[in-house]
Amino acid sequence: MPLDFLLDRFDELPATRALLEQLPAAGKRAGVGGLPGSSAAVLVATLVRRLPQRLFAVVAPTPADGERWLADLQTLLGSDAPALYPQRESLGAEEPHYELAGERIETLEALLRAGGRGAVRVVVTTARASAERTAVPAALAQSRLLLAVSKEERGLTETTQRLDAMGYARVPTVTEVAQYSVRGGILDVYGFGMASPARIEWWGDAIVSVRSFDLDTQRSGDALDRVTVLPVKSEQVTVNGDSQRSNLLELLPSDTLVVVDQESAVEREVERAWQDAAHHLEVARRMGEEPPPRDELLIDPETWRSALARLGRLALSDAELERRFPLAPPEHIDRDLKRLRQIVANPPPTVILCDNEGQLERLEELLGTDQATLAVGALDGGFIMPAQRVLTDHEIFRRARRLRRPRRYRTAVSTAASRPLTPGGYVVHLEHGIGIYRGLQTIAVGAEGETLDVAVVEYEGGARLNVPLYRIDQLEPYRTAAKDGDGDAPPPRLHRLGAKTWQRQRDKTRAAIRAMAAELLDLYARRQLAVGFAFPTDTPWQRELESAFLYEDTPDQRRASDEVKRDMERPRPMDRLLVGDVGYGKTEVAVRAAFKAVQAGKQVVVLVPTTILAEQHGRTFRERLADYPVRIEVLSRFRSPKDTAALVQRIAQGEVDIVIGTHRLLSPDVTFKDLGLLIVDEEHRFGVRHKERLKTLKLSVDVLTLTATPIPRTLHLSLAGLRDLALLETAPKDRSPVLTFVEPWDDALLEEAIARELDRGGQVYFVHNRIETIETIAARVQALAPRARLAVAHGQMREQDLEAVMGRFVRGDVDVLVSTMIVESGLDVPNANTMIVDRADRFGLAQLYQLRGRVGRSHRRAFCYLLVPDLVDAQAEERLQVLEHHTDLGSGYRIALRDLELRGAGNLLGGEQSGHVQAVGFDMYLRWLEEAVRSLKSGEGGGAKREEWAPPDVTLDAPAHLPDDYVPDDDAKLDLYRRLARAEQGCEIQTVREELRDRFGPLPPDAERLLLVAELRALGARAGLETVLIKGDEARLTFRRDAAPRLAGLQVALEAVQFEAEVRRAVPLSLRLRRLGGESIGPGLVRALTAVLRDHHA
């Protein structure tokens, strides 16, 4: 390990040697003191290395303490050696957080599997978790499910029954942990203890294949020998009808050495957990629940002490005088580099631990290599040994060390070809206009009992249209944004089948789209010719700043950052829009761009819509650029008139490098000496007058616009090359979904919600948007949480008071912040993970979404409670349900943003185009926009010759569809049909064929025929076919009038597949084909058309 030298140094201490000789045996206790910073973790790591046969357990007082121990031990011993056994988030309630439930049961499994002698060497837990009940080893062992390729026969039915009993949910498609699905003889399962989801295939009662699969694409990956599936809940595992419970301390081997961190604090937390449990359970009973008795959830403090007393204990405490290590805390440096140089020049020798390589290189430049030893390895705090001083870079530069833990379990991100059609929802048909989708049906066609799968669409007057699923590409869901910004879109008028209204609207919209696309293309071309300032390439400082970023860049963030800097280096003004969800890293991209501009001697303006956001950005920019000579100021109403006047003068004289502020920066009296970059956050929230002033500013400088109002990816792709767009779509690694509840006000519920957050050391937002009653509500909240430190914030407070309250909340000195909507954007408090919104029915979806985005910004599970009266109007209820049902960052995430995406599209496209979107629906609009852009970019004029035709109508004499018993999930079926209907190349159809075989098993004949239809449609579109009819060993083909140039070589190709051709009509050409031998008529025709088209292109 990279920090082994630290363990060597610790091993050499006489105090360590003495402790090793007198380690407490089972039932004994030894006290140890004098361990500042992370030296306690170094001591434990040293003992672990010296005693390879022994298991260690660290009991920390709180979850935050436990996380620090885990991070330090992972740095010192490697990521596999320590395992966390976290406490449940709530007592009495079903564990909603799979991250925690999975981690608990996997840690128990690791202990059980190796009898405590496996890869896991240290179990880190908290006081409360060590007192919580869990499954006994025997019960856990019997509840494992092993699935392997073998002769042992365990039928699929028996396996699914076991999974049901283990707490797994049966779903049509597995998208997250604790789910399974069944299709024919194939089982997909994603369980605890599994590195990835697995696909198991049966033949009869024998397992013939075990493979991993990808949650996003649902495609299989590597072959596996076996998978072990663990139960979803460890709190109560039932064997032979008996529920069995134990406790972590009782499960540890008798020779385990337990390290009790802050012994008195741990005991207090155990006592408090026992007392709080009684209160929580009483609250649960008042809420109408039937929680289990307290002693089924926890062992009482006396039993806990007895369980701990049977083990050897090492008690860590500063008050301990019996055994003290000769260590001291590190000197206070506080960014003073002169002092740092003086310290490292004096003995003992200094090692500085850096979070990453970038920080290490930066300190090498500042200090030189002969002053101190530098190493990569993040520890929480430094300390001084007699022969070694240990410092950490985040303490030197006074930066908080944020603990980021990657999520253990992935959630699928939808890769569906389009949005699903919802029965009862509005749709748009390419030829017939807006109707209501009534679902899928199988109808009889022809006289010989053939059937056809169709999507049924209802039009004005109840008329119905049956759309064959192989033509499903003609249907798009109808979606449009609300006209008033935050309400709900009005329902559209249905069209009448056969009327001309839709055709007129369609032609008008397509003409408007083409005109807009042409205008955008022209504007883009002119902007390419405009002359601006070309910023120099990245400097060593730039690379140093970026590598010092505390978190790992997401791929999107890295790409967006590179695109922005590349734009700045070009000799034309940049105008780039950066779209990213709340907390996805837009500000970091902005910081990097601003720093690049300042290094070139230019000034930067960061324009934001609210004072709170200005202050937040000010803090972020100052923190990130603290180590560089950059002058940063915030211009907002928090400044006095005198300070403002002085600052305006300094800006004009070029004495400020980066100025952050609200629309005050757009006032005529604010001028700049040499402005180079304008960063605008949420431009759509500024007024018309301010936008006009922005337009004049934008003409001559580089502009980066940030927005959290998402735009659909499809629109991004459609506008590629017309507007410089960068999308941040990847959630940071450790981001958890926000669990959302819509509930009436209930004192017991709120008491429980606030207590749960405070119990884990977190903070709470309580939003009440009426200033007149906010103090009354704050008093009610304080009564529900008497121990909480509570503060009130709203826009009518004095600036200094508001700033002070916000500062205290950010620093963690306030537990519950009762505020108005001013917290909607800008505040970044990763420790605040419960949001309560009073009268949520009065908020728009965009506002609620932004509020919910304030929580869930760390690896902890976040909760959002939307409080509503018993009766709310239908539109508000639907709005709230969108948020409640789509809490995830995966597949549901895209759906949850539907209204916001449309609003983002409206902001981007402008008012006139929004009218056309309203008329034809957003998805159809996008489809035509994409066609127009492609056509304009290829230089295709109105009268240019078409390269391709519409796909032909293909009719077979046998069913061609995906049977229900083969693909049972309607959403998956529609997606597959749509991909086949849109396929233009044989390779796309082959991909679907492979996916069907992989996900659903061997293709039945009906599915094979469906793929044949797709191949004939794709080839026919390029060959100029209008209709294809296949019956028995004959086929009839009708070509379009202008298809003649494609038909050279057709006769030769048909003869090659042993077909006889008879010309039935010359213009337009109609042929009758008869099979003389060789392969059947359908595949033969595919081969012949492929050959003709290949020769034509050659």
State the pLDDT confidence band at 403, using cuts at 50, 70 and 90.
Answer: low
Which of 139-153, 717-731, 735-749 holds the top average pLDDT?
735-749
Same domain, 299 and 370: no
Query: How confident is the model over 650-657, as a mean pLDDT?
Result: 94
Residues 6 or more apart in contact with residue 484 via CB below 8 angstroms: none
Query: How confident is the model over 608-616, as a mean pLDDT?
Result: 84
pLDDT at 241: 46
Query: How confident is the model over 270-276, as a mean pLDDT?
Result: 90
Query: How confident is the model over 130-154, as a mean pLDDT?
Result: 78
In 144-243, where does DSSP find H-type helix? Answer: 156-165
Higher pLDDT, 279 or 735: 279
Domain count, the chain: 7
Angle at 998 between CA 993 and CA 1000, to 5 degrees: 90
State the pLDDT confidence band at 906, using cuts at 50, 70 and 90.
Answer: low
Query: How confident is the model over 973-983, as a mean pLDDT?
Result: 90
pLDDT at 779: 96
Range of the domain at 118: 4-138+245-316
Is residue 310 classed as helix, strand or coil in its secondary structure? Answer: coil
Joined together, the tokens standing for residue 203 give 């033949």
Helix (H) or strand (E) segment spanning residue 741: strand 738-743
Which of 92-96, 149-153, 167-171, 576-580 holds the top average pLDDT?
167-171
Same domain, 431 and 391: no
Same domain, 743 and 721: no
Joined together, the tokens standing for residue 339 give 């002092």
Residues 6 or more apart in contact with residue 117 via CB below 8 angstroms: 53, 55, 253
Same domain, 561 and 651: yes
Same domain, 84 and 156: no
Q: What is the CATH number of the domain that holds 600?
A: 3.40.50.300
Helix (H) or strand (E) segment spanning residue 782: helix 774-784
| Residue 44 amino acid letter | V
State the pLDDT confidence band at 415, using cuts at 50, 70 and 90.
Answer: very low
Is residue 788 classed as helix, strand or coil in its secondary structure? Answer: coil
Same domain, 617 and 556: yes
Furthest-apart CA atoms within the chain: distance in Å: 107
Same domain, 770 and 882: yes
Q: How does pLDDT run across 418-432, given as a tens digit for each residue?
A: 567 888 889 999 999
Which string of b and e fits 246-280 if b means at least 16 CB within 10 Å?
Answer: bbbbbbbeeebbbbbbbbebbbebbeebbebbeeb
pLDDT at 245: 72
Q: How does pLDDT run across 755-800, given as a tens digit for each residue?
A: 888 888 899 999 999 999 999 999 999 999 998 999 999 988 887 7
State the pLDDT confidence band at 291, using cuts at 50, 70 and 90.
Answer: confident
- C-alpha 396/C-alpha 374 separation (Å) is 13
Higher pLDDT, 582 or 994: 994
Task: Pick the closest to residue 829 from 793, 795, 798 (CA basis).
Answer: 793
Query: How confident is the model over 720-725, as a mean pLDDT?
Result: 64
Query: How confident is the model over 354-359, as a mean pLDDT?
Result: 76
Angle at 996 between CA 990 and CA 998, to 5 degrees: 105
Which string of b and e fits 982-997 if b means at least 16 CB within 10 Å?
Answer: ebeeeeebeebbebbe
Task: Pick the closest to residue 561 from 589, 588, 535, 581 (CA basis).
Answer: 589
Bridge partner residues of 1030 (DSSP): 1035
Residue labelled with tokens 């004096």: 346
Q: How does pLDDT run across 462-498, given as a tens digit for each residue?
A: 999 999 888 888 898 887 765 544 445 678 899 999 8
pLDDT at 39: 94
Q: How does pLDDT run across 91-101, given as a tens digit for each residue?
A: 655 555 667 77
The size of the chain, in residues, is: 1098
Same domain, 161 and 130: no
Same domain, 306 and 378: no
Q: What is the CATH number of the domain that holds 158?
A: 3.30.2060.10
Higher pLDDT, 981 or 696: 981
Q: What is the CA radius of gyration of the chain?
A: 33
Give the mean pLDDT of the chain. Answer: 83
Q: How does pLDDT run across 831-878, given as a tens digit for each residue?
A: 899 999 999 888 877 678 778 888 887 777 789 999 988 777 666 776
Same domain, 113 and 154: no
> For residue 823, is pLDDT > 90?
no
Q: Is residue 718 part of a domain?
A: yes
pLDDT at 429: 94
Contact 105, 141 (CB under 8 A): no
Residue labelled with tokens 């966390």: 84
Q: Identify the domain boundary among 832, 853, 888.
A: 888
Q: Is residue 948 part of a domain?
A: no
Query: How confident is the model over 923-941, as a mean pLDDT?
Result: 74
pLDDT at 304: 94
pLDDT at 942: 43
Q: How does pLDDT run across 18-62, given as a tens digit for each residue?
A: 999 888 999 999 999 999 999 999 999 999 999 988 899 999 999
Which string of b and e fits 851-862 if b means at least 16 CB within 10 Å?
Answer: bbbbbbbbbbbb
- C-alpha 672/C-alpha 652 separation (Å) is 5
Pairing relationship of beta strands 242-244 and 237-239 according to DSSP bridges: antiparallel
Same domain, 992 and 1083: yes
Higher pLDDT, 1048 or 742: 742
- C-alpha 908/C-alpha 920 separation (Å) is 18
Which of 181-195, 587-601, 973-987 holds the top average pLDDT?
587-601
pLDDT at 1085: 93
- How many alpha carbons fall within 13 Å on the CB side of residue 677? 31
